[in-house]
Amino acid sequence: MNSNEKSVEERGFMCKKDGKPMYFVEETEKMSNGQRRSVFYYRCPICGYRIEVEQVVINVSNDKIVIKRKIRKK
Ligand SMILES: [Zn+2]
């Protein structure tokens, strides 16, 4: 898709299976219960292998906002 992904070069995430540079993907989804979930991951354009780096769940109930983060450590 986009071959000019500079951030991939800088971060240096390579696919474990074929050694190709992976690109960064951010996905946000709205769930039926009002939660929002964002997932950040690197994905290999060749084989589809992905490395999840962070997951954020934002929960709004009444006047309270609760943010849960899950960060992957190597
Ligand atoms: Zn791959």
The CA 12 to ligand 1 mean position distance, Å, reads 14
Strand partners, 54: 40, 71
The CA 28 to ligand 1 mean position distance, Å, reads 23
> If you search the block for the tokens 């690197």, which residue do you land on?
42
Q: Given pLDDT bands bounded at 50, 70 and 90, which one contains residue 67?
A: very high
The model's pLDDT over 4-31, given as tens digits with 9 standing for 90+, comes to 555 444 556 899 999 999 999 999 999 8
The CA 43 to ligand 1 mean position distance, Å, reads 8
CA distances from 5 to 10, 22, 52, 65 (A): 9, 9, 18, 33
Residues written for the chain: 74
The CA 21 to ligand 1 mean position distance, Å, reads 8
Q: Which residues contact 15 (CB under 8 A, 6 or more apart)?
A: 21, 22, 44, 46, 47, 49
Q: What is the mean pLDDT of the chain?
A: 84
Q: What is the pLDDT of residue 6?
A: 54
The CA 9 to ligand 1 mean position distance, Å, reads 15
